[in-house]
Amino acid sequence: MSIIWDEETTTAAPKAAAILTPASGNPQQAAEEPAKLESLQGESTARVKVDEKKIINCRADLNQLVPIKYQWAWQKYLDACANHWMPQEINMSRDIELWKSNQMTEDERRVVKRNMGFFSTADSLVANNIVLAAYRHITNPECRQYMLRQAFEEAVHTHAYQYIIESLGLDEGEVFNMYHEVNSIHGKADFETESFKGAQTFLENLIGYYVIMEGIFFYSGFVMMLNFKRQNRLPGSGEQFEYILRDETMHMNFGIDVINQIKAENPDLWTKEVRERSTDLVRQAVKLEVAYAQDTMPRGILGINAGMFEDYVQYVADRRLEKIGLTKIYGSENPFPWMSEVLDLRKEKNFFETRVTEYQVGGALSWD
Ligand SMILES: [Fe+2]
Ligand SMILES: [Fe+2]
C-alpha cells in the first residue's frame, strides 16, 4: 500500500504547510516574528459556523473543535478512549507454555508466524498513512481528533504484535521481513490504489486503507488467530486480537462514515468510473486475501481450512461494498458465524473486569 498521492488533492494541504512556514523568508527575522494569524487559522478569522464545516476543502478555522458538526466522529473518539487497553495487561503464560511444548503442529505454528508477519508491518503502514498522508487532507477538527486517537491505537497494535512475537520467542528478523520476503504478504502490503487525480485519489486512498486494508485484509488473520482461542489454545494472543478487532471495527466504521460524508458533500466525485474502479479494487483485494489464506493455511487446522476463507472473504467484501453504497458482487454465505458473535460480545463484555493495571487519572497523577 502506497501512501503518496497528488499534492493538489485539497486546498488543505497548502494551508497545513503554511502553519509550518515562517511569515518572513528571513529565518533570523522569522524567529522573532509571529506567523500570520490567517496562516494559523485557515482562510479567515471569522467565528466558525457549523454549516461551514466540511470533511475536505474546508476553509473555516481548523483549530476550533466546537461547534461540532459530525457527532459520529466525536462519539467514536469518546468510545475509543473508553476502550483503552495495553498489551502488557494480558497474561501470555499459557501461550508461552504451549508454544514451547510439543503440543503444536508445524501447520499451526506456520499460521501464527505468517499472521505475525502480516500484522506486525500492516498496522505500521496504516499508522503512517494516517499521520503522513490522510490527516492533512481531512479538514475537520472532530475527525482529526478521532484520527489522532486511531494513530495511537495503531501504535498499540504494533506493540501487541511485538509483545506476542517476543513472548513466543519468534525470530524477529524473519517475522518483520515477511512483508518483503513472503509473496502472499507482499502482495497485500504492495496493493496499489492510485489511478485518479486530486480528491478522487484521496477518496480512493480512504477506500484502500479503511475498507480494503482494515476491512478485508485483516479479516482472514483475525479468524485464524481467534480460532485458536476458541479451541482453548493461545488464549493470550487471542485476547490481544479480540481487543485489536474491537478497535479495528471502529476504525473501519469511521472510515466508512468519512467516505460517505465526502460523497454526500461532493457528489460529483462519485462518478461511474470511480464506482467501477472501487468495485474492481475490492475484487483484486479479495483475490489477494484468498491467496494469503491459502498460503498461510495450506492444510486445515483446528476445524477450519483454506477453502472456507474464499467464502468468508467474499462475504466480508460484499458487506464492505454495500456500506459505501456499491452493489455487492459475490452473494457468499458466512462460514464463520461465530465471528459475528465475537464482534457482538465485544460490545457487551466489560473489558475492565480483567484489568491488571489501574490507570492514573486526573488528580491522582504523581511525577516521581
Ligand atoms: Fe490496527
Ligand atoms: Fe486500524
Note the pLDDT of residue 10: 41
C-beta of residue 269 within 8 angstroms of C-beta of residue 137: no
102 C-alpha to center of ligand 2: Å? 34
Question: What residue ranges do the domains of the chain occupy?
Answer: 71-348
153 C-alpha to center of ligand 2: Å? 7
Note the pLDDT of residue 188: 84
Which ligand does the CA of 213 lie closest to? 2
Cell of 332: 457468499
CATH architecture, range 71-348? Orthogonal Bundle (1.10)
Note the pLDDT of residue 84: 93
Which ligand does the CA of 155 lie closest to? 1
163 noted as active-site residue: yes
150 C-alpha to center of ligand 2: Å? 7
C-beta of residue 201 within 8 angstroms of C-beta of residue 247: no
38 C-alpha to center of ligand 2: Å? 34
pTM, full prediction: 0.85
Rounded to 5 degrees, φ, ψ at 238 are -60, -40
C-beta of residue 129 within 8 angstroms of C-beta of residue 205: yes
C-beta of residue 137 within 8 angstroms of C-beta of residue 53: no
pLDDT digits (tens, 9 = 90+) for 312-332: 999 999 999 999 999 999 999
Which residues of the chain fall short of a pLDDT of 70? 1-44, 192-196, 344-368
C-beta of residue 252 within 8 angstroms of C-beta of residue 210: yes
Which ligand does the CA of 244 lie closest to? 1
Cell of 179: 512483508
C-beta of residue 215 within 8 angstroms of C-beta of residue 19: no
Note the pLDDT of residue 361: 46
Note the pLDDT of residue 55: 95
Q: Which residues, 6 or more positions from 3, have their beta carbon under 8 angstroms from its beta carbon? A: 125, 128, 129, 132, 133, 205
321 C-alpha to center of ligand 2: Å? 18
Which ligand does the CA of 158 lie closest to? 1
Given the residues 146, 163, 219, 243, select the one marked as catalytic: 163
C-beta of residue 159 within 8 angstroms of C-beta of residue 150: no
pLDDT digits (tens, 9 = 90+) for 37-69: 444 445 567 889 999 999 999 988 999 999 999
Q: Which residues, 6 or more positions from 309, have their beta carbon under 8 angstroms from its beta carbon? A: 220, 223, 289, 290, 293, 294, 297
293 C-alpha to center of ligand 2: Å? 20
